[in-house]
Amino acid sequence: MIAMADTKHLYQEVILDHNRKPRNWGLPQEATHRAEGVNPLCGDDIHLALRLADDTVEAIGFEGESCAICKASASMMTAAVKGKSRADAEQLAHEFRNMATGQLDLTQPHHLGRLTVFAGVRDLPTRVKCAILPWHTLQAAFNAVATTSTEAEADPMHAPIGGA
């Protein structure tokens, strides 16, 4: 028997729920930062926009076409970073990427909270990018990069997130 990821832990009710009813769907008014994130391998394509005031994410929303993992990740990300400072949001992005790529020890203190439902993707290499794409796009928006991709130079698996 081959040991493989138990994806039952990936498609949990919370992820399915965020996929069915994504939070913060639609782009906010008077956005100060926007970016598009694409994964050309599977066709995931999301648009993200946010309004930063006093260095705080005052409003954030997204829309687009993607798989359930990407959509739920975007939905939970927007809920998690709304009201947070840019620095705190970037810290979350850093921890999320490390979790998804299996480089975060979840027994140590972290700030991910319910976002740990995505921990299972670390055992599914082809799906890691689906979960990371929204966070990669958030970093691109912060850094005023109009379009980012999961491939080539912008590949979040190689480049440090937001390092575009």
CB 111 within 8 A of CB 92: yes
> Which range touches another protein (CB under 8 A), out of 25-33, 97-105, 109-117, 123-131?
123-131
Nearer CB in complex with another protein: 117/130: 130
By CB under 8 A, residue 1 contacts another protein: yes
CB atoms within 10 A of CB 129: 24
Rule CB under 8 A: is residue 2 a binding residue for another protein? yes
Among residues 27, 42, 112, 157, the one that binds another protein under rule CB under 8 A: 42
Q: What is the DSSP letter of 155?
A: -
Order the strands of the 147-149 sheet from edge to edge. 56-65, 44-53, 33-39, 147-149
Asked whether position 4 contacts another protein by CB under 8 A, the answer is yes
Q: Which amino acid is present at 145? A: V
Asked if 78 and 24 count as a contact pair (C-beta separation under 8 A), the reply is yes
What is the sign, positive or negative, of the torsion defined by CA atoms of 86, 89, 95, 101?
A: negative
Q: Containing H/E element for 138?
A: helix 128-142
CB closer to another protein, 89 vs 128: 128
16 vs 144 by CB, closer to another protein: 16
| 153 HSE (CA, 13 A, CB side) | 3
| Region near another protein per CB under 8 A, out of 13-21, 25-33, 73-81, 131-139 | 13-21
Per CB under 8 A, the segment of 42-50, 54-62, 82-90, 147-155 that binds another protein is 42-50
Nearer to another protein, 60 or 130 (CB): 130
Instruction: List interacting residues with another protein (CB under 8 A).
Output: 1-2, 4, 6-8, 10-11, 16, 19-20, 41-44, 65-69, 124, 126-127, 130
